[in-house]
Structure formats: structure tokens, C-alpha cells
Structure 1
């Protein structure tokens, strides 16, 4: 099933997000390595989009990539993320976006562990964590 798209004005996004969330989700920013709230987070639960709450990643797919950003080998549902080509640093990378609100999450690389071989390298500020014991 397709994810329902969320559209807001930039002013609405600025009101809803912290300045750091806005910088990352709406302006395609990146937090420095080893500084985000979730890079070394190990609690079981779900990581949702900080912009719209869409469930993106499970702690079951999280692993320590050694990069300093939260890393996952797969999204909860492949329809919950979208990708696009990113040439912003003079090289080709694959940018990852929330499929609902379009927020920039991070990038995906082909150097992850089995079973997918992918590393979704995601900014902590783009995520909100929901502990397993609080899930509906």
C-alpha cells in the first residue's frame, strides 16, 4: 500500500521542528559523527520520522557500523523510504527520504551486513525513538 504524502509549508515545518531537525530534514543537513542521540543507542523499539511519525526503522535492523551515525540494514517497510541521487559533495551518493513527508534522513551505502548488504546511515535528528514497551 502506498504511503500517504504529507505536504506542509516551510513556515509550518519551522513551527513543528526544532532548528536542528529543520536543518537536517528540510535543508538536507548532516549532524557530526558520534554526536547524535541514537548513534550508540541500543534499546529495543521503533525509530520514526521526526517530521511526521512514519515508522522507518526497527532496533532489530540496527547495527554498529563504526561510522558514528545510527545504521540499519533495512527499513521497517521498503515503501516507507524513498531514495534519490545526491551529487552535492562532488561524488555520487544515494540520499534517503521519508516517503510520507519527504524529509531528508541520510544516505544508503552498499557496504552493510547481511541479509541486505546495505547500510542506511541516518541522522539521529531525523528520528524519534519509540521504546518497544510503549508501542501500540
Structure 2
């Protein structure tokens, strides 16, 4: 009896560890992708901003500064747009990862429910067999 319980417990523990490893892999892959996405966006926007500052540093008169204003607004607008699109993409990736993790959890619950149902049916049949000779 104890051997059967130990085997079931070991199998459940092994299955839990495998599932936890899969969840960790999904989460790490997502974190890596989101981090890379954000770093690329920051690099792109920093380069554009410093290019604008380089142009601003070369301006020597008021007319040159007047021509820089639309460029500054454009750089600021692009920075905001890139930040928003990067945030949306990161959110989308995270949402897909969470859906995959939820699917893993759902399959684990279904597997555990099936195994428990099979054990209950097995125990019920064994109890019915044991009760049959006693009833005679």
C-alpha cells in the first residue's frame, strides 16, 4: 500500500517538476524577448536623439534654431510612438506567454483529474469484489 502511494507521489512530483521547468523556460524566453525588444527601442531612440542634439549644437543663429524646432518635435513624436509600440508588443508577447502557461496548467489539472478518476474506479471495483464474498 505504501509502495503504491510512494510511486504515485513520486510520479506526481516528477510531473510537477517537469511542468515547472516548462513554465520557467516560457517565462525566461518571454523575458529575454521583451528585454531585447526594449533595448533595441532604446538604442534606436537614443541614436536619433543624439543626432538631433548634434545638429542643435551646430546651430549658430536664430534661423538655424527655428529650423531645428520641427525636427525636435519630430524626434519627440517618434520617441513616444516607439515607446508605445514597444510597450504594446511587450504586452502582447507577455499575454501569449501567460496563455501558454495557463494551457500547461490546464493540461496538468486534466491529467491529474483523469488519474484520480482511474484510481477511484479501481478502488471502487476492489471494494465491490471484497464486499461480494462477505455478503454471501
TM-score of the pair, normalised by structure 2: 0.18
Query: Higher strand proportion, which one?
Result: 1
Greater C-alpha radius of gyration = 2
Query: Higher helix proportion, which one?
Result: 2
